[in-house]
């Protein structure tokens, strides 16, 4: 056998998945190895799970990239986010890209916590099943609270507190070189008992220190507030006031935000 011969002796097989709250199902796997001298290098890996959507727990929502489940992890309520495969991609390439995105999301969540921004605690990352398991945060999304304000009247003190926390959290992320990428009121939770703001869903997050990227991050939130919560007044002004007080780099970001807004208006006019 040559020193660089590719080994494919480990063929498809089945193994059970066990886990408290994970249910039980089976996964099919295939590994490709390259033999080099005294070492073995993993070339590709393909995992396909059974089509049992309840295997992780209760399905809460499904998007274009992932499914989110409520489950139990080591006796605690937890959230499992599964990034599912894209059938149009080659299986080995799909697995590598999915794992890369999964690792990036985990790193961004961890970095956000280091920057002083509350996020769910990350419990586990499974590179084979492409899942993240993290803390279940009990409490409403900011979206629900603002919609309630729109229907029953604004509680000014609470709205100020929410807006201040949002502005401070985003400023801490941005000053630390982290862009959330999907700042909507659905991705901001208020923990029951403390009303502490918790930022979730770092699936589109990335690192950047560019004022343009920070401005676009803010503009995404502004558009979400305008379209969903116009009855609450200009919440964005309150958020930006807190952002300016917290961020050491707010000036360049605000200048870019004005340009981003202008581009947005032009797109709206053109259609």
Task: Give catalytic residues, as residue numbers.
Answer: 182
In this structure, the number of other CB atoms found within 10 A of the CB of residue 43 comes to: 13
Distances (CA, A) of 169 to 94, 122, 245: 33, 19, 12
Reading the block at residue 153, the tokens are: 């009247």
CA atoms within a 13 Å half-sphere pointing along the CA-CB vector of 260: 19
CA atoms within a 13 Å half-sphere pointing along the CA-CB vector of 53: 10
Residue 141 contacts residue 186 (beta carbons within 8 Å) = yes
In this structure, the number of other CB atoms found within 10 A of the CB of residue 23 comes to: 16
Residue 217 contacts residue 204 (beta carbons within 8 Å) = no
Residue 200 contacts residue 222 (beta carbons within 8 Å) = no
Residue 217 contacts residue 208 (beta carbons within 8 Å) = no
* Residue whose C-alpha is closest to residue 207's, from 112, 124, 118: 112
Strand order in the sheet with 58-62: 58-62, 66-73, 76-83, 131-135, 122-126
């Amino acid at each position: 056998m040559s020193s660089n011969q590719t080994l494919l002796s480990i063929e498809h097989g089945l193994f059970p998945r066990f886990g408290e709250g994970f249910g039980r199902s089976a996964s099919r796997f295939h590994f490709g190895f390259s033999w080099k001298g005294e070492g073995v290098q993993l070339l590709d890996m393909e995992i396909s799970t059974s089509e049992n959507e309840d295997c992780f727990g209760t399905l809460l929502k499904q998007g274009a990239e992932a499914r989110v489940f409520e489950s139990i992890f080591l006796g605690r309520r937890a959230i499992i986010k599964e990034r599912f495969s894209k059938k149009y991609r080659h299986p080995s390439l799909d697995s590598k890209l999915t794992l890369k995105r999964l690792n990036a999301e985990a790193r961004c969540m961890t970095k956000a916590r280091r920057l002083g921004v509350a996020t769910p605690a990350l419990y586990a990352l499974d590179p084979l099943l492409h899942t993240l398991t993290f803390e279940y945060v009990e409490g409403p999304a900011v979206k629900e609270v603002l919609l309630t304000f729109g229907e029953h009247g604004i509680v000014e003190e609470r709205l100020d507190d929410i807006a201040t926390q949002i502005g401070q959290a985003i400023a801490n992320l941005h000053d630390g070189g982290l862009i959330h990428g999907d700042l909507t009121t659905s991705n901001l939770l208020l923990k029951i008992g403390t009303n502490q703001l918790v930022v979730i869903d770092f699936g589109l997050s990335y690192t950047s220190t560019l004022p343009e990227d920070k401005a676009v991050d803010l503009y995404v939130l502004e558009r979400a507030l305008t379209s969903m919560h116009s009855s609450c007044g200009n919440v964005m002004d309150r958020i930006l006031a807190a952002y300016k007080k917290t961020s050491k780099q707010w000036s360049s970001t605000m200048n870019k935000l004005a340009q981003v807004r202008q581009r947005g208006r032009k797109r709206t006019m053109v259609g």
